[in-house]
Amino acid sequence: MPFQEFIVATFDELIERVKATIKETDSDAVRALQTSNDPTVIIDVREREEFVDGHIEGAEFIPRGQLDLKIETAVPKRDTPIVLYCAGGTRSALAARSLEELGYTDVKSMAGGFTAWKRSGYPVHIPKAMTSEQLTRYSRHLVIPEIGEKGQRKLIDAKVLLLGAGALGSPVAMYLTAAGVGTIGIIDSDVVDRSNLQRQILHTDEAVGTPKVESAKARMKALNPDVEIHTHQTWLSSENVLEIFEGYDVVVDGGDNFATRYLVNDACVRLGIPNVHGSVYRFEGQATSFVPHQGPCYRCLYPEPPPPELAPSCQEAGVLGVIPGVIGMLQAIEVIKLIVGIGEPLAGRLLTFDGLKTQFRELKLRRDPECALCGENAEWNGFIDYEVFCNVS
């Protein structure tokens, strides 16, 4: 319809004409889509205040004023089925027309909007609204379409457990705290030593002699007071591992010995929790994510630990202080991706870093169908304490 005809029309006439040219659906049909495996993308085009007061579970939030700018990132394929809704069906109708003009071929507006949805008695999701301080703090996340308010709320609601407040745990703790992960647990039985400060950036010289978990908590709280910190000043063992791990969404393995790595792996597989693994050695490091049922576990790669003489500790072998920073940041990125549900986690892939060559390499990892822990015929026989077989630093 020529643009000139819209100029002289009243608003009601404009909406009537637009609705005559677009496809509409109703709340019953949208509810059916929501409860099925249909690939339709449901988009809420209202304003932020309306969205946080309640919305359709699983709906993407893109205000109508930003839809033209963000739709290609949110829905890159123009033949993807899309349902738009607003409060009463007016803004979504105009938005549907805009998307059609951008080349989207299967767009519908939900007649009656969110008002009709509520009148039908369908469930309304009311998220925890972010404060004005949080909106400011996380503003650079909120403008990223892959994260946005929905992803940031996932981070705020998430619970992540860090094994170790040392070299790897330090950058992970700082960046996850800054990112707004709502609850972070830290396990570490050690106290801060001056030799730690070359690489463990969580701690300061003033903290020497204090428990690492307390030093870490103070530093993290200073960075982001909103984050809840749970400290576990204890040595992880087969007796307490399940109790500590229970309830966390992701575990970050920053341990520096094989005994701990096997224990963390076995507990994560047992509980079905993703395990973001990292390790460093002199000028080198590596990172991967062991996600139960999506790739191998640590035992798929190394069924048994090496003999002690082949497993030098960090204290014996040394490590360039910045290498844990590189690997720890990679681990932090993995955690955020797993929580928000974006990108491609390192499940089934091992990323290695050579600091002397400034070179990354990626190795494919395959799940062992005969793995004694996660294989097809695996049977749970309890945890194994490897301290007597490994060099523990």
User: In this structure, what CATH number is given to the domain that contains residue 321?
Assistant: 3.40.50.720
What is the 8-class DSSP label of residue 116? H
Residues 266 and 341 in one domain: yes
At 99, list the tokens: 């998307």
What pTM was estimated for this model as a whole? Answer: 0.77
Looking at 78, 108, 127, the residue that finishes a domain is 127
Residue 110 lies in a domain: yes
Cα 202 from Cα 222, distance rounded (Å) = 11
| Residue range of the domain that includes 88 | 3-127
pLDDT tens per residue across span 201-253: 999 999 999 999 999 999 999 999 999 999 999 999 999 999 999 999 999 99
Q: Decide: helix, strand or coil at residue 372.
A: coil
Average pLDDT value over all residues in the chain: 91
Of all residues in the chain, what percent carry a pLDDT higher than 90? 77
Residues 110 and 243 in one domain: no
Of 251, 363, 348, 335, the closest CA to residue 296 belongs to 348
Looking at 127, 143, 177, the residue that finishes a domain is 127
Residue 132, C-beta contacts closer than 8 angstroms, at least 6 positions apart: none
Residues 84 and 8 in one domain: yes
Backbone phi, then psi, for 41, in 5-degree steps? -95, 125
Q: Residue 393: what pLDDT?
A: 36
Tokens 């009709």, residue?
A: 116
Q: Decide: helix, strand or coil at residue 253.
A: strand
pLDDT greater than 50 at residue 391: no
Residues 290 and 204 in one domain: yes
> How many domains, the chain?
2
Residue 221 near residue 268 (C-beta atoms within 8 A): no
pLDDT tens per residue across span 299-357: 999 888 877 666 555 555 789 999 999 999 999 999 999 999 999 999 999 999 999 99
Looking at 82, 111, 127, the residue that finishes a domain is 127
Backbone phi, then psi, for 150, in 5-degree steps? -65, -45
Cα 192 from Cα 90, distance rounded (Å) = 61
Residue 251 lies in a domain: yes
Residue 187 near residue 163 (C-beta atoms within 8 A): yes
In sequence order, what are the beta bridge partners of 231? 186
Residue 27: CATH number of its domain: 3.40.250.10
pLDDT tens per residue across span 357-371: 999 999 999 999 999
Amino acid making up residue 319: V
What is the 8-class DSSP label of residue 61? E
Residues 184 and 305 in one domain: yes
Residue 135 lies in a domain: no
Residues 182 and 328 in one domain: yes
Cα 389 from Cα 307, distance rounded (Å) = 7
Residues 193 and 316 in one domain: yes
CA 156 → CA 146, 153, 226, 312, 374, distances in Å? Answer: 16, 5, 9, 38, 31
Cα 31 from Cα 114, distance rounded (Å) = 12
Residue 380 lies in a domain: no
Residues 39 and 185 in one domain: no
